[in-house]
Amino acid sequence: MVQGTASTVGKSVLVAALCRIFKQDGIRVAPFKAQNMALNSFVTREGGEIGRAQAVQAEAAGVEASVDMNPVLLKPEADARSQVIVLGKVAATATAARYYDYTPALLEVVRVSLERLRSAYDVVVIEGAGSPAEINLKEREIANMRVARMAGAPVLLVGDIDRGGVFASVVGTLALLDEEERRYVRGIVINKFRGDVELLKPGLQALEALTSKPVLGVVPYFRDILIAQEDSVYLDERAEAPPAVDLEVAVVRLPHISNYDDFDPLEEEGCRVRYVSGTSELDWPDLIIVPGTKSTIADLRHLWRSGLAEAIVRLANQGTPVVGVCGGYQMLGKSLHDAQGVESGAGAALGLGLLDMVTAFAPDKSTAQVRGKVVHSAGMLRGMRGVEVMGYEIHMGRSVLGQDGGAFHVFETPNGAADYIDGAVNAEGTVLGTYIHGLFHNGGFRRALLNNLRRRRGLPERWDRPVEDRDRQYDRLADHVRRSLDMPAVYRILEEGTTL
């Protein structure tokens, strides 16, 4: 099990790396996170919703993602509530206080999912949540030491040195654990290090003396390995765009932004992707993207209050292309209606009016992997009719088109043949909306759309920057972490378990 001294120390990426390392070494491995709180999510083949991080870890492990890998997912909403998803399906919407009333029952769900994985795989790599030293939650948590005890899993404790105070955070975390819990911690990993590790060694030796735990490695900070990130803190840490970019993409940073890894491939293919929070940051981009959100109406109202809504509409009316994904697609329509209070108590909200479409929310959530093809051929979709795409849908609500046409014909889901229209596009092809997440991960679609944007600007087309496939990225991540960890010691800990 990989636990951390805090959130955002890099647990998810290290679990992905270990999954890949074990796969490379011929071990059948799967990831597991009992409870995840995240707005980035993924849909499994069976139509279940799990945290995006566990889908990435499964991909690194070379296995298909399943709901057992993340049996409990919390998706924060407006008004201090979270949607509670159990085994891939919405079970409730609850405040934090109400949620903790459910945890005894959820612990049994966690146990059954973990046992199914353990029976099917040689190794399960478990990711903790936040910190195991949240002493106000220890009696009710279902994601850290309680899971370690349930599984009899040895724990690697990870600290983030980039933010400072790593020695204090490691020592303090161990001090707040009880004696039995400390026994589960078999090693310490220092993550996100910049500099000469030789200068760090005196501190590492002191840390080992203070804790009686070995430091199993120091993992250097990296920016050049492209792995989907789970926490929105990542948006503050993103690297500057390379100098060879020729297109500017402005992604609106909504308060409840979700699935922002949808847009990572754009950076790898000649785009500077900026996440903008205010009108002063919007500038004159070549493409505006309104991303997904878990709280569509609340975030739409934020756009109107901040002035971003008017700015987006003004640029769109002047010809700047706009793409909306999922909740962002719903915002592009004329209005949103929530008569049943599914998303909020607002009842209705005024959309941006860039698409002739209205959306009504309903209690049922649509979750499915899909295959489709473009059915429009103008503007940013010029010459793209028939181009195939793959992705997944996660949304509550149904959008009804007026005069604008559909964007994609969905012809297949894991259940077999399908036949329905997704999304909308205006006649000029300058405003596009879709429910399909992962759209820009489709290389043919992405390159054709970007080249249409280049033609609009009088720029030369580019076909010479194929995005490095994700499989290669996982290998690079594994190599990076393998060089940094004492892997023989990790394997010894695997064999020994929690015995000292």
Please give the chain's pLDDT, 500 residues, in tens: 999 999 999 999 999 999 999 999 999 999 999 999 988 899 999 999 999 999 999 999 999 999 999 999 998 887 678 889 999 998 888 887 788 888 888 999 999 999 999 999 999 999 999 999 998 888 888 999 999 999 999 999 999 999 889 999 999 999 999 999 999 999 999 999 998 888 899 999 999 999 999 999 999 988 777 777 665 455 555 555 555 688 999 999 999 998 888 998 998 787 999 999 999 999 899 999 999 998 889 899 999 999 999 999 999 999 999 999 999 999 999 999 987 777 766 678 899 999 999 999 888 888 899 999 999 999 999 999 999 999 999 888 889 898 888 999 999 999 899 999 999 999 999 999 999 999 999 999 999 999 999 999 999 888 765 555 788 899 999 999 999 999 999 999 999 876 54
- Neighbour-count burial of 90, counting CB atoms closer than 10 A to its CB (0-12 exposed, 13-18 middle, 19+ buried): middle
Which helix (H) or strand (E) element contains residue 16?
helix 11-24
Domain boundaries, the chain: 2-226+473-496, 241-457
Q: What six digits make up the tokens of 26?
A: 């011929």
- Identical fold, 2-226+473-496 and 241-457: yes
Is 326 catalytic? The answer is yes
Say which DSSP state 261 is in.
G
Q: Can you tell me the distance from the alpha carbon of 424 to that of 401, in angstroms, rounded to the nearest whole number?
A: 7
Quickly list H helices, 256-360.
264-267, 279-282, 296-306, 308-317, 327-332
Judge whether 391 and 442 are in contact, CB under 8 Å: yes
- Neighbour-count burial of 7, counting CB atoms closer than 10 A to its CB (0-12 exposed, 13-18 middle, 19+ buried): middle
CA 174, distance to chain mean position in Å, is 29
Residue of 256, 376, 395, 437 with catalytic role: 437
What is residue 224's predicted lDDT score, i.e. its pLDDT? Answer: 76
2-226+473-496 CATH, one of 2.40.30.10, 3.20.20.370, 2.40.10.340, 3.40.50.300: 3.40.50.300
User: Around Cβ 415, how many Cβ atoms within 10 Å?
Assistant: 11
What is residue 203's predicted lDDT score, i.e. its pLDDT? Answer: 94
- DSSP-derived secondary structure for 88-123: TEEEEEEEHHHHHHHHHHHHHHHHHHHHHHHHH-SE
Say which DSSP state 262 is in.
G
What is residue 94's predicted lDDT score, i.e. its pLDDT? Answer: 82
What is residue 466's predicted lDDT score, i.e. its pLDDT? Answer: 57
Residue range 241-457, CATH number: 3.40.50.880
Closest CA to 436 of 369, 352, 338: 369
Judge whether 370 and 417 are in contact, CB under 8 Å: no
What is residue 345's predicted lDDT score, i.e. its pLDDT? Answer: 66
Q: Is the dihedral of CA 440, 441, 442, 444 positive or negative?
A: positive
Judge whether 38 and 54 are in contact, CB under 8 Å: no
What is residue 499's predicted lDDT score, i.e. its pLDDT? Answer: 57
- Length of the chain, in residues: 500
What is residue 101's predicted lDDT score, i.e. its pLDDT? Answer: 81
What is residue 237's predicted lDDT score, i.e. its pLDDT? Answer: 56
SS3 of residue 15 by DSSP: helix
Is 271 catalytic? The answer is no
Closest CA to 329 of 423, 440, 449: 423
What is residue 235's predicted lDDT score, i.e. its pLDDT? Answer: 56
Residue of 256, 302, 326, 441 with catalytic role: 326
What is residue 391's predicted lDDT score, i.e. its pLDDT? Answer: 94
Q: Can you tell me the distance from the alpha carbon of 50 to that of 57, in angstroms, rounded to the nearest whole number?
A: 12
Look up residue 133 and give its amino acid. Answer: A
- DSSP-derived secondary structure for 153-199: --EEEEEESTTS-HHHHHHHHHHHS-HHHHHHEEEEEEEEE-S-GGG
- DSSP-derived secondary structure for 410-434: EEEETTEEEEEEE-EE-TTS-EEEE
What is residue 500's predicted lDDT score, i.e. its pLDDT? Answer: 47
Look up residue 147 and give its amino acid. Answer: V
Q: Can you tell me the distance from the alpha carbon of 258 to that of 237, in angstroms, rounded to the nearest whole number?
A: 17
SS3 of residue 446 by DSSP: helix
